Amino acid sequence: MSDLAALGGTPIRTEPYPAWPVYDERDIQAVTDVIKSGRWGGYPYPGPQTAEFARRFAEMQGGGYAVPMANGTVTMEVALRVMNIGWGDEVLVPAYTFQATAAAVMSAGAIPVIVDVDVQTYCMDPIAASHAITPQTKAIIPVHLGAEMSDMDAIMELANQNNLVVIEDCAHAHGAKWRGNGAGTIGHFGSFSLQSSKTLTTGEGGVLLCRTPEFAERAASLIDCGRPHDKAEKNYTMGANYRMTELQAALGNVGLERFPEQANQRETMAAYMDEALSEIPGVRILKRDARHTTRSFYQYVFAIDPEVFKVNNAVICYALEKEGIPCDVEYEAMHHYHLFLDYQHNRKQNFLL
Ligand SMILES: Cc1ncc(COP(=O)(O)O)c(C=O)c1O
């Protein structure tokens, strides 16, 4: 035991992990070109870099009409607004996610209803979701968390039966596929974040994949200060400036060139982790659903059994950090947030975590 770095021993790894985001001459050139062009911002929307990014992003994900935006939170707010979901409406979100999933619902004026997750994947449990539906429920936001995907067959069936809009939160799922279909192309919308930590990044940024060109036109109006983007429409709608800039899009276009090789590398490393961790008693690697045909890896998530380790996950993370291995206990489950406590308590729900 005393060999652990946390107890004064020598760390297993002293070599730092590679810095992120990565860049090379292509990024520098792309940004330089935009600077020299004089067209830095997002107006008129979309600029040439942004239009190219939208086309190539949808191509990579395998479908949909892409509308690049300022980040991966407003993407979800805009998707709700496109469908006129707002005041008094309820939107199902999973308990285990970054708070942005619920915050976007509140920004649209609707109420996030927190639904428990499946312990095998930590993604929304479709059965718990079915129990949370009320006459006010208008949409459901499954989050594809870490390296997992929500059970999109069950979610879509539930949504179809109850006439709900599905917005996939794909902030962690660039390149992921479910039975060969790209994450974000299965529901009505797919919301992607391009924030600095994400596997495809433009520093800040987001993309909304829309199922129809009409949804995409309305989304483009909402993020472009309400300007009409439908050729037949002459009137402004209520909107704001959530445009992506040309500088961001230029980085995105180079990032897309790099992405396939990085995705392969992540898959190789994750397969190694799956094998190595499955030999350690008390460690549970998450279920690989056969329908999740292409994995993406924002985070490599695994569970530990505190009974076996005799300590909790915070202590294990601390010990791993001391060994030179980055580790995080990650999100606080959302029903613990003060922000949501009153409402959730009133609904008297029980949660797994
Ligand atoms: C699951 C999830 N949804 C949404 C977001 C929001 O993305 P952004 O920071 O681009 O607004 C994040 C960001 O980390 C996230 O992890």
What's the pLDDT tens digit per position in 58-84? Answer: 999 999 999 999 999 999 999 999 999
- Between CA 295 and CA 117, with CA 309 as vertex, the angle to 5 degrees is 40
Give yes or no for a contact between 313 and 331, defined as CB atoms under 8 angstroms apart: no
Eight-class DSSP state of 198: S
Ligand 1 is surrounded, with C-beta below 6 A, by: 71-73, 97-98, 100-101, 143, 169, 171-172, 193, 195, 206
> How far is it, in rounded angstroms, from Cα 207 to Cα 53?
10
Q: What is the pTM of this model?
A: 0.95
Eight-class DSSP state of 15: S
More confident residue, 329 or 176: 176
Q: What's the Cα-to-Cα distance from 66 to each of 59, 215, 218, 228, rounded to whole Å? A: 9, 10, 12, 17
End-to-end CA distance of the chain: 30
Q: How far is the CA of 350 from the centre of ligand 1 (A)?
A: 25
207-263 pLDDT per residue, tens? 999 999 999 999 999 999 999 998 787 888 999 999 999 999 999 999 999 999 999
Name the residue of 97, 192, 195 whose CB sits within 8 Å of the most ligand 1 atoms, as the mutation to test its pocket: 195
Query: In sequence order, which ranges of the chain are alpha helices (DSSP H)?
Result: 25-37, 48-61, 74-82, 100-107, 126-132, 152-162, 213-223, 246-277, 306-309, 313-322, 338-347
Q: What's the Cα-to-Cα distance from 306 to each of 274, 303, 311, 312, 327, rounded to whole Å? A: 20, 9, 5, 5, 16
